Every structure is written in C-alpha cells, then in structure tokens.
Chains A and B, each alone.
Chain A
Amino acid sequence: QVQLQESGPGLVKPSETLSLICTVSDDSITSSTYYWGWIRQSPGNGLEWIGNIYYSGSPYYNPTLKSRVSMSIDTSKKHFSLSLRSVTAADTAVYYCARRDYSDAFHVWGQGTLVTVSS
C-alpha cells in the first residue's frame, strides 16, 4: 500500500519561505490516475486545501493562497514539493500531503508535519 511522508523544517521565521517535500513510496506518482495535494490544519482548527499537482505538472492552487504558493513534482525522485512564501504566524499548521484519485477524494494521506512560524 502506498505511503506518503512529509519532510522539511519544523520552524520557519516570519517573512521567509516554508518548503516541504512529500515522498511517495511507490510508482503511482507517475500514474495518470492521481493528483497530488497539500492540505493544512491550523492548531485546533479545520482543514484547508492548499493545492494539487499532476504527474506532468500543471498545479492549481487555493485562490486565497495562490499569490504565495508554488508546487512542483519530480517523478524520478518520487516526490512533490510545496513552497509557501512570506509566511506569518497564521501559516502555523500541520501540513499534510495526500493523493487524490478519480473520485476527487483524498484517499491516501501522509502523517502530517507541524510547521511553526516564529522568530
């Protein structure tokens, strides 16, 4: 069964860039069936979709974050990445990577990684 694993710094300073990588355990990252996404959850709050990317590229983003977000994918390394620029304390959250299938649901999730924005 495929597994997703987030990695990256747990602490980012305000105004800097948050960068995370999600490593996929199998070759499904090259499949045309799936999209790969990032979703975050602020402490004690609900879920917020950040963006999705396809194996060939073509990312699309939450319009509320679009000006600060970029995603990329490297199928040869079996990973995809998230960059969020100009972070503030409001970006402190657990960041999940996930796999979306044809049903438009996120069927596979990483365990999540807490990123704290603080000086």
Chain B
Amino acid sequence: QSALTQPASVSGSPGQSITISCTGSSSDVGSYNLVSWYQQFPGKAPKVIISEVNKRPSGVSDRFSGSKSGNTASLTISGLQAEDEAVYYCCSWAGSITFYLFGTGTTVTVL
C-alpha cells in the first residue's frame, strides 16, 4: 500500500481560499467516508481539524471544510490567515487489511 497523494505545497494570499487535494483509490478514499485531516505546526503533534470527510471537531474554525468526490478528498481553507501556515495531512481508513493510510502532506504558505 502507498501513501495518499497530496500536493507538496499550496499558497495563497490572506483572505483567499485554497484547496488541498488528497487522492487515493477505490480501496480507501473512494470506499469509505472516513477521511480525516490534520494540521501540524513545526515541532508539534498533529491536530485533527476534519473527521468523517466533512465534520469539524468542536473548537475548529469554520474556515476549514472538507469534501470528497470519488477517490479524492479535499480540504478547503477559506479566508486564509497567517496562522494557517502549517503542514496538512489527510488520512483515510483503507479496510481491514491496510487499515489506515496517511497522505504525503501539504505545506500551506500564506503569501
């Protein structure tokens, strides 16, 4: 099994919206609505910002939203802010043989 594919980097200006893709296969992203997204700052543990494709845990800004189409999940950050600069990872349940796959990670830069 291999990691889910994400773009290495995405950038945007303050106030803009950006979208990060997470491409898997029909065995993982395409088969289950169990995609989660994590935000990670340097030297810190990841923090979940989206679960089950599009659910925001309590306390997570509503500027973060998730969606899925086919084998690709997406994370959209609206109203981009400097504090959103971080690395973002997706993760999907991939069935009872592979279990969990993480994405390759995307560095978000606020210009």
Q: Interface on A for B, CB 8 Å cutoff?
A: 39, 46-49, 52, 60-64, 96, 103-107, 109-112
Q: With a CB–CB cut-off of 8 A, which chain A residues contact B18?
A: none
| Chain A positions within 8 Å of B93 at CB level | 104
Chain B interface residue number, banded: 20 to 34
What distance in Å separates the Cβ of B20 from its nearest Cβ neighbour in chain A? 14
CB-defined contacts of A103 to chain B, threshold 8 Å: 34, 36, 51-52, 55
Q: Chain B residues with Cβ under 8 A from A62's Cβ?
A: 99-100
How far, in angstroms, from A69 to B55 measured CA to CA in the complex? 32
For the complex formed, measure the closest distance between the CB of B35 and the CB atoms of chain A, giving whole angstroms: 9
Chain B, Cβ-Cβ closest to A64: B1
B-chain residues with CB within 8 Å of residue A112 when the two chains form the complex: 45
* B103 CB contacts on chain A under 8 angstroms: 46
Contact call A49/B102, Cβ cutoff below 8 A? yes
Q: Is B110 in the interface zone, CB < 8 Å from A? A: no
Q: How far is the CB of A77 from chain B (nearest CB, A)?
A: 23
Which chain B residues (29-73) contact chain A, with CB distance < 8 Å?
A: 34, 36, 38, 45-48, 51-52, 55, 57
User: Does the CB pair A46–B36 fall under 8 Å?
Assistant: no
Query: In the complex, A111→B96 CA distance in Å?
Result: 28
Q: Is the CB of B52 within 8 A of A109?
A: no
When distances are taken between beta carbons in the complex, the residues of chain A under 8 Å from B99 are 49, 52, 60-63
